[in-house]
Structure formats: structure tokens, C-alpha cells
Amino acid sequence: MLLLQQIYGRTLIMAIIITEDCINCGACEPECPNTAIYEGAEDWRYKDGTNLKGDIILSNGKDVNAEEFQMPISDEFYFIASDKCTECKGFHEEPQCAAVCPVDCCIPDENNVETEQELLKKQGFMHKPD
């Protein structure tokens, strides 16, 4: 499977990134269970579509405020906030954005490699019940 890499016997999984081949169709955005996909030039928040509130420390050690607007990652095409992408772990068997994208431009992000356990922890943290 394209989204998994076997390295030194460990299965590594990557967050997904949208490439510049994106045609801005918008099909992926409503499919994301973590609200990690935004239209180009749109500000985004950690709290969108999650239970995150106030000051939080992410599993990667980043200190952020869930309610503050963050700068867009792309001004030209749809983008994924990788801190919120769990490769759909905990919700679906496969990345939903990649499954619906008509031009196959949702691909593994080699700069964001996480284990399945890390992704599930991230998913649990974002959607912890009140």
C-alpha cells in the first residue's frame, strides 16, 4: 500500500499532503473527520471540528492555542493542517481525502512520519469527550 512504508521492520505512516496538482474542486474538505483540510488562503484553527479548547500542548510538543486562527499553509490550493491529520486513523480504514480526490494529489507527507500508535493518540487527544 502506497501510504505505508516498511523501514527497519517498523510500519511508518505519514500525514497526507496536498500537492500543487490540486484543482480546487473541494471534494476532500467535507470528508475529513478531523477538519484538517482547508481551502487555499483560509485561516484555520485547531478547535475546528475537534474538542480542543484554549492552550494545549500537542503530542509533538508544540504549544498552541486551539482557538487562535493560524496562517494558511497555501494561498493557491487546498491544504492540510498536518498537526490535525491522523490519516483518518480511528475513523476510517483509509485516508478519505485520497479516496475522493479526482486527481490523486493527496499523497503521503514524507516530512510528517508517525506511527499508527502516535496517530491514534493524536486522534484521541483531539476528540477527547468533554
Contact residues: ligand SF4, CB under 6 A? 16, 18, 22-28, 31-34, 36-37, 78, 80, 85-88, 95-97, 100-101, 103, 105-106
If 0-12 CB within 10 Å is exposed, 13-18 middle and 19+ buried, where does residue 58 land?
A: middle
Least Å distance, CB 109 to ligand SF4, is 10
Between 64 and 90, whose beta carbon lies closer to ligand SF4? 90
In whole angstroms, what is the distance from residue 34 CA to residue 77 CA? 19
Q: Tell the smallest beta-carbon distance from residue 61 to ligand SF4 (Å).
A: 20
Cβ nearer to ligand SF4, comparing 32 with 73: 32
- In sequence order, the β-bridge partners of residue 33 are none
Nearer to ligand SF4, 66 or 100 (CB): 100
Residue 128, Cβ neighbours under 10 Å: how many?
10
What residues contact 61, with CB distance under 8 A and at least 6 apart?
none
